[in-house]
Amino acid sequence: MNREEIVTALKDERDRIDEALIALGGKKGVVNASGRRSYGITAAGRKRLSDLMKKRWADRRKGPRLLRKGA
């Protein structure tokens, strides 16, 4: 067996194990191509980020404004 065949066999085995874990309900998140889990974001987390960004942009609008020559 060469190196590429071993890697392919291991990836296939990993995929089978991931599918089994999902079927058993014992896994949170989805494994992406890099092998890391992706949990997503909750509705509460989205709201919190939205509020923080709105505050950030409001503060930027209040900040000093630069005037261009000729304006």
pLDDT in tens, 8-44: 999 999 888 888 877 787 655 566 666 666 667 888 9
Q: pTM for this one?
A: 0.37
- Per-residue model confidence (pLDDT) at position 51: 95
* Residue whose C-alpha is closest to residue 38's, from 25, 26, 29: 29
Phi then psi for residue 2, to 5 deg, are -90, 175
Spatial separation of the C-alpha atoms in residues 20 and 18, rounded to whole Å: 5
Domain ranges across the chain: 3-62
pLDDT confidence bin for 56, thresholds 50/70/90:
very high
Residue-level pLDDT at 10? 92
* 24 vs 70 pLDDT, higher one: 24
Is residue 17 within 8 A of residue 8, CB to CB? The reply is: no
